Structures are given as C-alpha cells and as structure tokens.
Structure 1
C-alpha cells in the first residue's frame, strides 16, 4: 500500500527555503534548521585552512557524511544536508560524484540507507543536496544510533528510538493485549482504586467505587471481552515490567536518605505508596490569622500528586529505567524516562492540547480521578504553586531523554495569600492566566501582549483578550491591574499592578524601587516599546516626574538612550533606545 502526501513536501520546502537564504547571502550558521544542515565538504582543508582541489571521490567525506545522513534518517521526519558551503557562508562547492557518494553511504550504513543525492547549481557554485526520509528501523553508523536534537546529532538507545517511532505511528501500546487476565488482578490495586475514587467525591466516582472488582476494571476499558487485560490494565492492576517508581527522601541536599519507596507490583500500588510517603514528608506550615487557609503544606499536595502521576502515565514504559522522585527539603523533582512528544515543549506545555503517549492508560487514570482527561495536568500544577506564592513548576527535557519536573516549595507567601483573598471574582485563585500575570508583574513591573504571550503560552489575540479580562478583576473594589500612563494613542496598551495591589505585595514589589533594578526595568521598557517618556517612567517606577527625568538623563549619558527629537522641547518629548533588546 502506498500513501500520497497532500500538499508540498515539508522537507523539500525547508531545503528550498535554506537555499534561497544562502543565495541571498545568509551564512548557514544563522539559518540551519532542525531538518536541514549545511556543511562544506570534509577533507578539503589543507594546512592553515586553505581549500584544496576537489575530486569525484573523497573517502573521508563519505565516512563523515554517512554518519550525518544516518543521524538525519533516524530523526522524525528525516532530513537533508546541503554540501559545499562553509559555516561562514563561503561557497566552496564540491566535485563529488553523486552516484559514487550515494553508493558509498549505502555501503557504510551496511546497506540500510539509500540517500537521494542531487546536484544543485548556486550561481556558479556546484553543490550537492543529500536527502533522506525517516527510517523505518534505526540505522547504525559505527555501531551507534544517533538522531538530531536541535542542530546536533546525539546518541539514543534503541528502546527510546522504537518507542518514539511507535508513538508517531499512532499505535497505543497501552491498548494492546497483555499476557494477563482478570484472574491476575491484584485485590490491593482494586482497593487503592476505590480509595482514590471515594476521595474524589463526585457521584460518578462514587458509583464506580461501589462496583465489583471485575466490573470496575471493565468500566475502565482496560480489559477485552475474553477477560484479557490490556497493557494499561496489566500495569495498573498486576505489575510493571520493572520498578516503575523510585522515591527517595532527604531532609537537605546531599544528606542521608530518611525514606525510600522502591518496588514493583501494580502501578496503582506504587503511586499510592509514593503518594503517602511524599505527604508524610511534606511540612505543615501554619498561616497567620486573617486567612481562610489556616494550615498549608510546604508543597501543594495536589501539585505533588500531579507531578508523580504525570511521571507515571506520560513516561516511556518501553524503558526499564524507573521514574525517580527526589524529595529534598521542600523541593520535589520527578524525572521520567522518555522525552516530550507530539510537539509539546516547555514553551507550550501549559496550553498545548493533550498528546498522551499512551491514551488508554491516560484515560484509565483520568477515570480513577488521578489524571486530567483534557490535558496533562501542568496547568493545575502551575495554579496550585502560584496561588500560594511559589514559582511555577520548572519543566525541562534532559539528556536520555528524560522529562524533569521540579516543584520548589517553602513557606507560603503571605502577601500573595492576602491579594488572592481580597480579589474578586473569587475565581482569581484558580485562574492560571491571572496568576501568571500577577507573578510576572510582581517581578518585572509591566506587561503587554508581546511580553504576556510567552508567559501565558497563548497566541497574541488570545493573550490580548486575557489581559482585558484580568483588567476587569478587582482587589477590595479597586482594579487588580491598570493601564500604564503615558503610552501614546495608537500604541499597544501595557499594564502594571494597581497601587492597591502593589501595597498588598509590598515586599515583592520592593525590588523595583532599588535604583539598579529601576534602571533595568526602564531600559527593558524602552527596548521593547521603542521609546520611553518621563510620564511612563514615573508611572512604572513610582518616581516623581523630575526624578524620572533625571533617571532618563543618566541613561542617556551612559549611552543607552538618545533624545527622540533634537529640540528636546514641547509636550510628548521622549527618548529612544540606542542598544537593541538583548
């Protein structure tokens, strides 16, 4: 069976775009993208870097290019290499015979890779374009499997490669039949499932909790009609193929462990044991009078559970490595095997549509009220951390690949608690957009659509609507945020915390009143907005208009600003930035 690509080939479009930019004079180091690399022919440099004459055959080049092409073939979507251009844009060209090179790459990859090699003329320079689409099986070069991450080829283990390939093919491993049946279900796992359902409190969860063990498992859609469990059912109710979760507790970094939870068995039992251990170690904090909270934890229990469950559900279960949970003081770090999938990365993880690695497993955990059906729970972690004054979760992909989630807790911020208690409507406490904007303003002083879009992880139009909605929120009857004074008509609006909100967050906002911090904030404003006036500075920093003028004059004398007009006279005088936004 063959499939026809609808529309232009994305890889060919990238090749064409890169060639056009090279033709326009751009250097490859400035334009290389994930799927297209640009290189000079290896082995053509002599002593002192002088270019040597080319030839139709170059064994050193073939060996080097075989490794690069194998790397690109192992990369999702494949890739291309444009040969004959130095990194600084110098057009060296190549005399290599395309048929010889194609055959030599095939030989050096043990007959696994047949690249498309074609000649391209760029003005009077002869180049070669080597193209490979994504490999069906991993291609080794010199015994190693590599794929492309950003603009580098890095080694990857076969399990991770196959897992990624399986996910991209749309096959849900967790929905496939296992070797277990309903007879293998562990009654302890059934009881734990009931505990989580009863704790959820909603009517549907209570109804599921009262079902028989067999009916409960069937209603989670993890068992076939003949009683065979799916892989999701086997994981949850029978046991993981290797140790799934490894929890370690230390009171201080580098200290001896005071508790460790590590073992096999049903995934539900492993999650429960780690959940209980983390709760027992989570310090209770007594909040001063005046707040409805009374007692809080150093780490939000819901955020902790979300991190643990995410590390269990969205990890790569083809890997034998466990999900590690390091609970050190008031910090929890969850590291799970398998990188980001489906276009998710730290820059969009809050708002990206759900792309579960294992949909059946994710849906079963959602039915048990342990995971979020619509997403991956990151927004809930963000909400629960920010609403008590902690920073949001730090989420990164590290070598392996692994996904690392760090929750940094501590004593709740009394000022944030006071602000949220005074905010109207009450939903401010659960509004992730509002909490992110409050945190940004308390640290950076101002925000506009351009600054808010990456913070909220939304497109500009949605970001503008969110800011307008937040501008309608109140604190003890006063606005929560207010438009910045001095912004010229026709320019995009910008916002700061209102004076009443700043008064409540006095400690947090005090940093903006430190002289060096004021300078940084004013320069950031000028560079981002393209201009700055004394009215804007006065409203942004709280300085008087004369003091704001003196600050701008000092920045001009230091070479950071220049007058917007030579006369310096008249209403609306402003400065422009001399240096660009770094």
Structure 2
C-alpha cells in the first residue's frame, strides 16, 4: 500500500475497516458492512486497517475476538448471516479477515436497515431495490408473468418482422418456426402465459402502447457536436422489436466510415461506432434494463461519443469489474430467451465480450461501463481509429483474433511498455494465474507477439513487452513508438554493417511487416539521413539503400548507447542486475 491510502485500494469485493473502540458499536458497524456485501456479490472485510492512511501506518491492529464477532454478526442480521472470521498477523499487527458470501436472500440489520455494496460504497436500498433483488435471488421472472393483453393486441408488423428474422436464420429449427401459426409461434417464443394471454415480455416486444413499460421505450437524440443542440430526436413506443430495429437504422445512417486495406488486399469498412458493438449494448439494455421502473432506454449520439443508458442497476452479482468473466445473468429470462430465439442476442451470453472485441478490432478504446442504483450506462468514445491495430490483428491466428484477453493485452501494451500478470489481471478480469497463462501463450508459437524482458525472464511472473517487429507493425498506434524506433534502427544498422545494403524486402523479413509498413520505415531512415538510395532503380521493393551521411560508426553507436542507458534506463534491466 506504499504511496496509496488504504481507501484507494478498496474494491467492490474488498473493504478495510478500523474497529470502533466500543465492542457493541464495532459489531454493529461490521454487521452493516457484512450486509452490504451479502446483498451484492460477496466480499472480504479486513479489520484493523485505517483506510485514510498509507503504508505501514495504515495497519493499526484489532483485538476483537474472532468467534465472538462471528456470533454477533449472526445475531445482528436478518436472516442470520453466516460469515467466516479469521485472525492473522501482518506487520506485527493482529488483523481480522471477515469473508462474506453472496447471499441467497436479501439481508438487513437487526434494526431493519438494508444496504448494498455499489462499487466501493455501502448504500441504503430503496423498497424497489429490495423487491428487485428478492425476485432475482428467488428466480422470479417478471417478464414471464401474464399481462392484460391477448393475441389480438399484437401489432401485425411486429409479428411479420419476427417471421422475417426467423426465416433468414441459419438455424433450421428457427426457420421452421417462421411457418408456425400465430399462436404456435408465440408459444415457441415463450411469449404466452398458460391462458394464452401474452406475458409481459410479449406485451413489450409485440404490442403498440405496451402496458408493461413506459410510453416511450427508447429515446434517441443525435447532436452534431457533444455539447450542441439536438438535430434529431426519436421517441419510440412499442412494439420493442420494431423500435429496436428503427434505432439500429438511425445510428447506422449517421455512421462515418474509414476504409482500411489489409496486407492480403482485403478491404474493411471501419465504422465510427462498430454496429456489432452498438447492437450488443442495445440488446443488453433491452433484456437487462428494469422495465418495472417505467423509464426508457436513453441513447445519445454524436461524433464524440455514443452512450446507451438503461434503467436499473446491473443484475445482482454482476459488477463493472467482473462483467467480462461472470457470465450472462438475465434480469428477465423470458424476455432474453425471446431475443435469443429471434437471433438478436448472443446464445451463450457473450455480448459484453463482443462489445470489447469489436471496439479493439476497429482500433478504438474499449467501452466504458458505469452503474449506480438508478441506471447502467455504456459509453463508446468517438475517435480516429488506429488502423495499424486493425491491420496487425488480421495477421494473428483466427482464434486469437476472437480472444478477448489477447485483444485487451495488446491494447494495454500499446499504452504501456511492459506488463506483468499481477498488473494485467484486473484489467482482463482474470486471476493472476490465468493472466500469466495468457501472457505465456502470446509469447510462444504460433502467436509470438510478446517476449519476456531479459532482466525478468527467470522470474515466476516476468515482465512482458511487444516484440520489436510487432511494434514496427503497430507504428504510431503504440504511444511509446519513438522509443521503439531505436530498436528498429539498431537492427537495420547492424544489418547494413554486415551486408552493406538493405531494401524493402529485407525490412519485411526482418520485422514481419507488409510492403507499406516497410516503406514507412525506410522513408523514416532516409529522412534522418541514416540511409540513402544507392541503386539506379527508384521505385519498387527492390530499391537498394546504403549508409547515409548520418549513419553512425560502430564507435559512435556505442557511445550513443551508453549515453541513452544513462538517461533512460530500462527498469527491468536494472532489476536484472540487482537480482
């Protein structure tokens, strides 16, 4: 905790507490903290740490008896909460660790107060929050309960659109659904109750002026600039299935396109906001948003950002810190099932993964997901795409192009020169061991895009960096590219000292880059007069280059190398010398 206060290290599943002096007050305080975690995803409370301090000063110790504390927490909560309490020593101070499981019910203190952990805060729960969490934990599906609508209330266009989606599916069973009678189709989609009245999911999806949600299901506004006036506003009521498609088309109509040509000649059209990522965010808002609050999905669209906000918090147990790996938990399983059967949602709940993958593959930042008790927001930031990332990813094995961990690790290494498993684990939402497995895989054949630094190669958790040839391919997509150019220059200078000349084909082989990237490297060296054209041929990959006026002599290069090491040492190399 050196340099940071304990409070800065708290997470959605970790809390530091300093025990109150009075035993009764201490137990009440810790019982309240345990209720917070039990009503969220569970967590750990470390008692005996002053969260306003940093370093060893933060460890003030705790003399509470573990068994007595466990018993009091059980007595001070309703239903009685069983926690694990253990004492341990750290920095010559006795601390207590309280492990709180995720609850099966909604818990409160003995005084009737209910709390829930939201990020790092313990906040009171409103009656609606208690009802929502109770239904989720008991498996009550609001969307599967009957509505007051019957088959005659269905919008014919909505049902026709469902049949079109099914008939165009690659799944033969879904194609067969398209020819069913209306009532049989509704049953197949699980949108009818036992009395053949529509469920609330059926009401939302297929009826105009749905009674199970707000009058406006989706509100969309477009601005030419993020702080400007709206130039387009859409307020869409039911059916949700038609509103969904209309919003997708509204965003698509306002998309900008960046063309990218891959090394194999394939042309890609990169959208400002990848359609696949936006669709997944919209699906998540539709099937996980809490329609019982009667608030619409809000969409704000400008060249600078695209934000989708849905009512209600994340489903119990899912947080912004585990959303990639926790797995899909539908708030309304019946509504989610209908979206999946219609081919609008992921079958295995990988929608958030897809959002991340599509954004990184298009050379953009990952989506920002935030939540509070009222809403969940997904923010896509508009920016010029880093097309070098798109081009590089196309050279990886297909399975790696679809691996979220691979893409996240690459993105972080475009910003940081080195990473370690314990530093990247939270970023990819994996354990340290899982992160190390991914790093090791990416440094081995057939991927070989990373390498451990020389000073840490024998450690249990080495530091990894991009290989020089990968940095060359990524070019200015790497924030520290200017430093990486030194490594590229050194390899080319060494080659010229050995062979006397270099050409585009040589650069391609040295750094595993395409003809255009090799051209850029050569032009940079020519511009700095390190090399000069030496052949009569002036165009093509066979043009030869020899040492130029600024080509360093071996003695000069050694001197430069010593000076650079003094000015900007590699921390990993320094560590290697110490150990």
TM-score (norm 2): 0.67
Structure 1, unmatched stretches of 5+, are 1-26, 43-53, 55-60, 94-101, 107-111, 117-128, 519-543, 565-572, 577-582
Partner of residue 470, structure 1 = 442
2:257 maps to 1:284? yes
RMSD of equivalent CA atoms: 5.0
Structure 1 residue 329 and structure 2 residue 303: aligned? Answer: yes
- The answer on 1:296 being equivalent to 2:270 is yes
Q: Which residue of 1 aligns with 2:517?
A: none
Q: 1:140 to 1:262 in 2, by over 3 A?
A: farther
Q: 1:67 to 1:269 in 2, by over 3 A?
A: farther
Report the alpha carbon displacement of residue 350 of structure 1 after superposing the two structures with TM.
1.5
* Matches of 2:431 and 2:37, distance apart in 1: 28
Shift in alpha-carbon separation, 1:563–1:115, aligned structure 2, 3 A:
closer
CA distance in structure 2 between the aligned counterparts of 1:163 and 1:209, rounded to whole angstroms: 35
Structure 1 CA distance for aligned equivalents of residues 425 and 225 of structure 2: 37
State the partner residue of 1:162.
Answer: 131
Report how far residue 197 of structure 1 moved. Answer: 3.4
| Residue-by-residue CA offset, 1:517-569 (whole Å, 9 max, x unaligned) | 99xxxxxxxxxxxxxxxxxxxxxxxxx8876665565579xxx99987xxxxx
* Counterpart Cα distance in 2 of 1:114 and 1:491: 43
Among 341, 353, 370, the residue aligned to 1:379: 353
Which residue does the alignment assign to 2:532?
none
Per the alignment, residue 406 of structure 2 pairs with: 434
User: Quick one: distance in 2 between partners of 1:489 and 1:134?
Assistant: 43
The reply on whether 1:446 has 2:418 as its aligned counterpart is yes
1:271 and 2:240 equivalent?
A: no
Task: Tell me by how many angstroms 1:150 deviates.
Answer: 5.3
Q: How does 1:201-216 map to 2 (within 5 A)?
A: 201-216=170-185
**Once the 2 structures are TM-superposed, how far is the Cα of residue 37 of structure 1 from its aligned partner?**
6.0
- Per the TM alignment, residue 246 of structure 1 is displaced from its structure 2 partner at its CA by 1.6
The residue number in structure 1 matching 2:343 is 369
Q: Are 2:260 and 1:260 equivalent residues in the alignment?
A: no
Query: Which has the larger displacement, 147-156 or 459-468?
Result: 147-156
Instruction: Select which of 283, 288, 291 maps to 1:314.
Output: 288
Native 8 Å contact 1:253 1:328 kept in 2: yes
Q: Matches of 1:381 and 1:41 in 2, distance apart?
A: 49
Distance in 2 between residues matched to 1:276 and 1:561, nearest whole Å: 50
- Alpha-carbon distance in structure 2 between the residues aligned to 1:416 and 1:29: 33
Match of 1:5 in 2: none
Alignment check: 8 A CA contact 1:449 1:464 kept: yes
Look up the SS of the partner of 2:148 in the other structure: strand
2:429 maps to which residue?
457
**Structure 2 residue 166 is matched with structure 1 residue 193:** no
Cα deviation 1:246-270 (Å, max 9, x = unaligned): 2111121111112222232122122
Equivalents in 2 of 1:417, 1:376: separation in Å?
21
| CA contact 2:218–2:235 (8 Å) conserved in 1 | yes
Evaluate the alpha carbon distance shift between residue 312 and residue 376 of structure 1 in structure 2; reply closer, same or farther with a 3 A threshold.
farther
Give the SS at the match of 1:246.
strand
CA 487–138 in structure 1, closer or farther in 2 if over 3 Å, else same: closer
Corresponding residue number in structure 2 for 1:574: 577
| Conservation of the 8 A alpha-carbon contact between 1:40 and 1:92 | no
Q: TM-score, normalised by structure 1?
A: 0.66
Residue 90 (structure 1) shift: 9.2
Aligned length: 474
Cα distance change on mapping 1:67 and 1:183 into 2, 3 Å: farther
Query: 2: CA distance between counterparts of 1:441 and 1:514?
Result: 14
1 CA distance for matches of 2:138 and 2:418?
A: 45
Question: Which structure 2 segments of 5+ residues have no match?
Answer: 1-5, 52-57, 65-72, 83-97, 488-556
CA distance in structure 2 between the aligned counterparts of 1:463 and 1:550, rounded to whole angstroms = 36
Question: Is the 1:246–1:325 contact (alpha carbons within 8 Å) kept by the matching residues of 2?
Answer: yes
Does residue 372 of structure 2 align to residue 403 of structure 1?
Answer: no
